[in-house]
Amino acid sequence: MTTPGPLEKAIAKRRELLAKNSELRADIDRNTAEIAQIDAALAVMRLYAPLGQLPGLEDDARSIYGNLASMTVPDGLATILRKRGEALPSRELCTILEQTGKLKAGSANNLIGVIGALKRNPERFKKIGSSWKLVQSNGHLPGLEVDETASVKG
């Protein structure tokens, strides 16, 4: 029996790495599916428990909302509102930005900055009552019918 040459070794190593990548992708797919299930459960829990009343969940705000610290404040606000899927008061938006490290916690000017960012971006955010909602790219507010949107914009 002859020993494999460099070409045969390279082909064998390539096959081994492709098989390993396939296994890793399957693991990632399983983990991603489980994360999606957990995120769905957490989203339901958040609907019924205001921010700060779910022990242990707010500690992990960065994993929920991503790296908001690397984003602009308006982009961070849009990410929060998109992931929550509901209108939120500016104080709660500010708290989330502080929890994720985007804003320095406890600064008196944080809330003013958040409100300013929301108001300076009317194409992205609309105030409904005392809360802010994300405007979809088509200009409609999520959850509102077209005729209701016209009255909100007025």
**Among 14-28, 55-69, 87-101, whose mean pLDDT is lowest?**
55-69
In a domain, 145, yes or no: yes
> Which residues 6+ apart lie within 8 Å of 117 measured at CB?
73, 74, 77
In a domain, 84, yes or no: yes
> What confidence tier does 86 reach under pLDDT thresholds 50, 70, 90?
confident
Contact 140, 133 (CB under 8 A): no
In a domain, 5, yes or no: no
Residue 79 has pLDDT above 70, yes or no: yes
Chain segment 37-51, per-residue pLDDT in tens: 887 787 677 667 665
**Residue whose C-alpha is closest to residue 98's, from 68, 123, 121:** 68
Residue 100's pLDDT is 87
Comparison of pLDDT for 120 and 106, the residue scoring more: 120
| Tokens 């797919």 sit on residue | 29
Please tell me the distance from the alpha carbon of residue 87 to that of residue 48, in angstroms, as a whole number: 14
Per the structure, the complete domain to which residue 143 belongs is given by: 58-153
Q: What percent of the chain has pLDDT over 90?
A: 47
In the chain, the amino acid numbered 13 is K
Residue 147 has pLDDT above 50, yes or no: no
Domain count, the chain: 1
In a domain, 78, yes or no: yes
For 10, the token pair is 């390279």
**Residue whose C-alpha is closest to residue 82's, from 100, 99, 62, 64:** 64
